[in-house]
């Protein structure tokens, strides 16, 4: 996969809490915020 994964902490306005997501740098530069999850 292109890019690298990084942990990003973001604030959710709906819940009023902070959330940590895993984001790909390639997609973040081109399309904005994105979130990846493990597939089990």
In the chain, DSSP finds a helix count (H) and a strand count (E) of: 1, 2
Per the structure, the count of domains in the chain is 1
Beta-carbon-side half-sphere exposure of residue 20 (alpha carbons within 13 Å): 3
Determine the structural domain holding residue 19 and report its residue range. Answer: 1-40
Please state the pTM of the whole predicted model.
0.70
Phi, psi angles (nearest 5°) of residue 21 = -125, 160
Cα radius of gyration rounded to whole Å, the chain: 11
**Residue range 1-40, pLDDT digits in tens:** 899 999 999 898 999 999 999 999 999 999 999 999 888 8
């Amino acid at each position: 996969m292109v890019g690298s994964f990084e942990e990003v902490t973001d604030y959710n306005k709906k819940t009023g809490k902070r959330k940590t997501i895993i984001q790909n740098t390639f997609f973040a530069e081109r399309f904005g915020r994105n979130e990846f999850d493990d597939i089990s």
